[in-house]
Structure 1
Amino acid sequence: MSSALVQQVSATEQEQLQNYIHLFSTIFLYWDYLLTLSDEFRYFWKRPVGVSTVLFFLNRYLTMLGDIVVTISLFSTRLTESRYDRCYQIYLLRTYGFSSCPPFPLFHEILLGVAQLIVCILLAIRIYALYHGSKHVLAVVLSALGIMLTVSIFAIFFSRSEESETLVGGLEIMDGFDFKCHTKLSFFPSVQEAGAWEALFLYDVMLFGMILYKTYQTHHELRPLRIPLVDIIIRDGSLYFGVMALANAVNISTFYYPLPYARGTLSTFASSMSITMMSRLMLNLHKVADSGLHTLPITTVQGPLSTFNASPKENLRGINVMSGTLESYESEGSDTTYSVVE
């Protein structure tokens, strides 16, 4: 077996792997969308439209619609090419041994970049709310976001990627060839493109650390209510931040694979995971407060009747207990009374 044939078989296998991972990521995104569609209708469609709502819909639907185009490009470009384009592709292939792929890979990269930018903005808004609108925190987060954007734009538009088109089984079918578009990344462009995801990972880790610190601080303040730390982690969004960062870290590792077609294959999965976690976080926040992302730390706490027990004369700040054993409580230094609604 010739080395050229072995390389072609290996490339085809890598392209199939790329297809399967993309399909899994897309199905995962649509599956979670169907699971949460009723909550979306209840907490977003039936409420006044605000900035948070617009960002939610952009986060939710931009990638869902864009993935349709990407999926078509990975499995067949016949639906997107005119007869003239197909004749030109076949001419190039038969004459020069190559064909020009439509700009689907660039479209995919831009789609991923815009989707992640929306997620980053939503995360920044959430951190800003958790820190009670601190201008210093906002300045730090926006500075980090600006640096991340600069690195990402450079990585996307200045890295060189080679595009390859393959034949189905290497044979002509029906009225011609069935072209598919897959991205082949050589090592150095792959490392350069990984820089965009690494910048995003550092941004995620920074925000994850900030929200963990705030979660610990909130748990310390709420010791009189004996609220489990896990409840606060889920409530404030620490869990969602952590899952996003983990998915991104796994994706970054693929850019250093030795196989050129396998590099960056988890980008769609990492993006789908971030979009899903962000949607879940916003839905969870809107369940307990109309302010959504702007909800302050534990402005509303939910739990079983046996969850919350507070001793008298304990300091308690900014808490409205929705369920528990506490019937009434007056915080020291204020006239605020906290009551249980069972």
Structure 2
Amino acid sequence: MDIIQAQQMTMSYYAMLVPSTILIYDHMATLTEEIAFIWCRPKALSAVLFLLNRYVALLGNIYGLIGDFLPTSDESCPTYVLSKQVLVFSQAIIVCLILTLRTYALYGRSKRLLAFLGIIGLAFAGGAAAETFGSYPSTVTNVPGGCYETFTADTNIRLGLAWVVLSVYESLIFVLTVSRIFGIRGFLRLSLTMSRRNIIVVIFQDGALYFGAMTLFNIPNILTYFGGSDIIRGSLSTFTSCMSVTLISRLMLNLHKSIDTGIFSAPTWDDDDALAVLTTRVDVQSTISSHHW
């Protein structure tokens, strides 16, 4: 192994270590909020999705760190590499499901929109799964610092397309979110009430932050598949996945601070057209208990 390959392997190694560290740190930093707004409140589907997103990623990345740091046999390398691919793909599916249901609630629980997003989401997920788990010629190498799977240039482009598909779907969600929020409030009203922390502002700010951050993270990740070396290709996928999970967890915690139903809270108008209120499908006893908590 020459010096350049050793440097690239070191960079790839840190590209797996740093995001997992950030994910674990953020989990510990927000654990008190998780207990207060998730565990100590009535359990709804939104809370279940929050926990699924949070703990699948946490446990999966701990497993990944163990596999990267501890010696691995040549026989177990292919299984380990496949399991990491399944983990990253599963995390992306959970995140897309949360974003889809958030948009569904934002549009007043529109069944037509849910069916539209469901069809597109299934088509995109099927295409991404085919590109990710297709039968391609590859070589799995067991080297100090982890197992590495290398593909042909054409196969790497197909793997990169799976991330492009994810980016396109997230862009669609963002466009629908902005369109709905501006339709409810209008740009002028939104800009005048940015400091008031009502639910519309929370959704807009968190949605914009998520999309902007994930665009910055995903573009370099995609470029590694199209122009990186064998070692560099796909090295940022763990980073991108961990950042997505972290941002979605923050987004859901912010919504659960406002209402128990979290991502299923639906804004509408009240008598004062300068404000937006929430409509939810929680029973009265649950709402009373949460206010007395």
Sort the Cα spacing of 1:139 and 1:38 in 2 relative to 1 into closer, same or farther, 3 A. same
Question: Residue in 2 aligned with 1:238?
Answer: 207
Sort the Cα spacing of 1:273 and 1:100 in 2 relative to 1 into closer, same or farther, 3 A. closer
Whether the aligned pair in 2 keeps the contact of 1:185 and 1:261 (CA below 8 Å) is: no
Query: Which amino acid in the other structure matches residue 107 of structure 1?
Result: S
Paired with 1:124 and 1:108, the residues of 2 have a C-alpha distance of 24
Whether the aligned pair in 2 keeps the contact of 1:145 and 1:203 (CA below 8 Å) is: yes
Paired with 1:245 and 1:146, the residues of 2 have a C-alpha distance of 22
Paired with 1:76 and 1:114, the residues of 2 have a C-alpha distance of 24
Whether the aligned pair in 1 keeps the contact of 2:259 and 2:265 (CA below 8 Å) is: yes
Q: Which has the higher contact order (CA 8 A, sep 6+)?
A: 2
Instruction: Looking at secondary structure, tell me which structure has more helix per residue.
Output: 2
Correspondent of 2:223 among 244, 253, 269: 253
Whether the aligned pair in 2 keeps the contact of 1:221 and 1:316 (CA below 8 Å) is: no
Provide TM-score, normalisation by structure 1. 0.72
Provide TM-score, normalisation by structure 2. 0.84
Structure 2, unaligned stretches of length 5 or more? Answer: 279-293
Correspondent of 1:197 among 150, 153, 163: 163
Whether the aligned pair in 2 keeps the contact of 1:185 and 1:263 (CA below 8 Å) is: no
Whether the aligned pair in 1 keeps the contact of 2:44 and 2:261 (CA below 8 Å) is: no
Correspondence 1:8-23 to 2 at 5 A: 9-23=3-17
Sort the Cα spacing of 1:235 and 1:165 in 2 relative to 1 into closer, same or farther, 3 A. same
Question: Residue in 2 aligned with 1:306?
Answer: none
Question: Residue in 2 aligned with 1:57?
Answer: 51
Q: Secondary structure at the match of 2:234?
A: coil
2:194 is the alignment partner of 1:228: yes
Paired with 1:230 and 1:201, the residues of 2 have a C-alpha distance of 31
Paired with 2:159 and 2:125, the residues of 1 have a C-alpha distance of 13
% identical equivalent positions:
30
Paired with 2:139 and 2:78, the residues of 1 have a C-alpha distance of 12
Question: Residue in 1 aligned with 2:101?
Answer: 125
Calculate the aligned-residue CA RMSD, in Å.
2.7
Q: Secondary structure at the match of 1:319?
A: strand
Structure 1, unaligned stretches of length 5 or more? Answer: 79-85, 90-98, 168-178, 301-312, 321-342
Aligned length: 273
Paired with 2:201 and 2:71, the residues of 1 have a C-alpha distance of 45
Deviations 1:123-156 (A, max 9, x none): 0010001111112211221112111111111011
Sort the Cα spacing of 1:319 and 1:51 in 2 relative to 1 into closer, same or farther, 3 A. closer
Correspondence 1:1-342 to 2 at 5 A: 5-6=1-2, 9-78=3-72, 101-158=77-134, 159-167=136-144, 180-220=146-186, 223=189, 226-228=192-194, 232-236=200-204, 237-242=206-211, 243-297=213-267, 315=273, 318-319=276-277
